[in-house]
Structure formats: C-alpha cells, structure tokens
A and B are shown apart, each in its own frame.
Chain A
Amino acid sequence: TQLLEQSPQFLSIQEGENLTVYCNSSSVFSSLQWYRQEPGEGPVLLVTVVTGGEVKKLKRLTFQFGDARKDSSLHITAAQPGDTGLYLCAGRRYGGATNKLIFGTGTLLAVQP
C-alpha cells in the first residue's frame, strides 16, 4: 500500500504552460517535502512545508500543504524545459520516526521547447 499517491504519473507539456502536481494521502504528516530528480542523479530537495495550509514559493514554483496535513500540491507557472524531471513528494508521518521519509509514487514531467 502506497501511503503517498501522486497524480498525474506522467505529464508532457509545452514550454510556457502551467501545471499542478498533487500528492495525496489518508495519513497525517508532520512535514512534507518536495524533491526533483534529474536523469542519472539522486533527488534534490526543493522545499519543506510543516504547517497546515502553508504556502511556499520558489521562483515559478508554488507549494501548498493541505489544511489537514494529508495532502500537498506543486504548481509550476510558465514551465521551462529545465523543469523537466521526476518530482517526488516525501512525508514524515505524524508520530512516526522523526527522520524517516515516505516517498510518493512520483510525477514524471517533460517540458517540450
């Protein structure tokens, strides 16, 4: 059973378009992180959200943590080819081991020039 489900699994869009990736769970998380992974490399942390309802912006990327801390979204404005990669959400379960991450199923994004 996958605790963190991401949608969509795959997304191919044109440069300049906007997109949203979702990360959903029935479990409550004390914090949630988003990572981006490029081919042949390991995931790299983009952001951490810890408070229900929290919104963080990183240039053209906007991250939101759900009010109930069970879900999160990543919105990219005016996508660029450099945004191409595998996006992974990862959470720490509320009451679980403080340094153990559960990774989502991943969203593979391809931005065509």
Chain B
Amino acid sequence: DAGVIQSPRHEVTEMGQEVTLRCKPISGHDYLFWYRQTMMRGLELLIYFNNNVPIDDSGMPEDRFSAKMPNASFSTLKIQPSEPRDSAVYFCASSLKQGRITYEQYFGPGTRLLVL
C-alpha cells in the first residue's frame, strides 16, 4: 500500500500569492494531521481531522491558513496570502484508531515551501 502522498514536494512562490498543499492519506486511515516544521519552532501541529471533520485547529497560525478535507482520501492546506515567515516544511500524516492507547502516525515526505 502506498504511504501518505503529498504534493508538490517543493514550492517556491512570491509573497502575496496563494499556496495550496495537497495530501492523500493512507487508505482506511480515519485521522489526518497537518504539521509545520521549522528550525526555530520544531514540528508543530496545525490542524487534525477525524473522519473528514476538523477536530482541533488551535495550531493554525491565523486566518491566512485554511484546511479542508472534502473526502476520506484528500485534504488541502491553503495559505492566502502567503508571507515569507510561512516558509517551512509542511507535513501531512495519517493514522488509524486502534484502541485507546497508541496511534502510530504515518508521515508523508513533506512539502518544502519557500515564500520570497
């Protein structure tokens, strides 16, 4: 089975432009997570979904960020307008509920975003 798929792998854009990052979770997984990783702040959870419903978006930086999950096999993270401080690696991860204790999160390869 294919792992988590993210596209694009790299994105270079200019400040003010709209950026859309895409994610296809592992088939059958019912949780999807969006993370952002920078040297300064490490790996931060932005938002996560359960069965396509957003559960916790407290990590979303501001209104410029939005995320959707229209179906179980696709999610987007949109930044509009983008700013240089949004430059980071964005990861998508998915997991499957298997009891009440442990959930392995499977990460995609990430999208490296550079906003000039």
Contacts and interface: CB of A to CB of B under 8 A. Distances in A.
Interface of A: 2, 30-31, 33, 40-45, 48, 50, 88, 97-106
Given A41-B110, A42-B109, A48 B55 contact: no
B93 A30 contact: no
Interface in B60-116: 91, 93, 95, 97, 100-110
A97 to B, nearest CB: 7
B31 interface: yes
Given A100-B45, A105-B42, A40 B103 contact: no
Contacts of B48: 99-100
Contacts of A106: 42-43
Given A50-B102, A101-B105, A106-B42, A42 B56 contact: no
Contacts, number: 57
B93 A42 contact: yes
B63 to A, nearest CB: 22
A33 B101 CA distance: 11
Main secondary structure of the interface of B (DSSP, over half): strand
A42 B45 contact: no
Contacts of A30: 101
B50 A99 contact: yes
Contacts of B45: 100-103
B109 A98 contact: no
Interface string B24-68: 000000010001000000111100101000011000000000000
B104 A45 contact: yes
A104 B107 contact: no
Query: Top 9 nearest A-B pairs by Cβ distance?
Result: A42-B107, A103-B43, A48-B102, A45-B104, A99-B103, A42-B91, A43-B107, A105-B42, A99-B31
Contacts of B103: 98-99
Nearest to B59: A100
A6 to B, nearest CB: 9
Nearest to A6: B42
Contacts of B93: 42
